[in-house]
Amino acid sequence: MLLIACPWCGERDELEFHYGGQAHVAYPADPEGLSDGEWGEYLFVRDNTKGPFAERWSHAAGCRRWFNVVRHTVTHEILAVQSNRPVAAGQPKPVIA
């Protein structure tokens, strides 16, 4: 069971949270211009990193806010918690150290 530090509520057990998958996946800036392949990629393909992975969690049974966590997907160690909003298309993503 993970112990996750909600940026607003502090450390709570995993059961209070809902998992949201990869972080920093921006909605396409120019949806009309996308090919079928690009749409498929946006809808269905996400990173599946073995190692430090930036992902979204929502404190569903608490403050109900979303935030980002960098978690190691082998050790489950939580390396960082970021309360920032998703990065807009074209903006640099936060660096995963």
Binding site for other proteins (CB under 8 A): 1-2, 14-15, 18-19, 21, 36-37, 39-41, 43-46, 48-50, 53, 55, 71, 73-76
76 binds, among other proteins, Zn ion, none (CB under 5 to 8 A by kind): other proteins
CA–CA dist 23, 27 (Å, integer)? 12
62 binds, among other proteins, Zn ion, none (CB under 5 to 8 A by kind): Zn ion
Complete DSSP assignment for the chain: --EEEETTTEEEEGGG-EEEEES--PPPS-GGG--HHHHHHHHH-----SSEEEEEEE-TTTT--EEEEEEETTT--EEEEE-PPPPPTTSPPPP--
CB of 84 to other proteins, least distance (A): 20
- Asked if 8 interacts with Zn ion (CB under 5 A), we say yes
Tokens 């807009």, residue located: 88
- Asked if 9 interacts with Zn ion (CB under 5 A), we say yes
What character string, x for contact with Zn ion (CB under 5 A) and - otherwise, covers 31-70?
A: ----------------------------x--xx-------
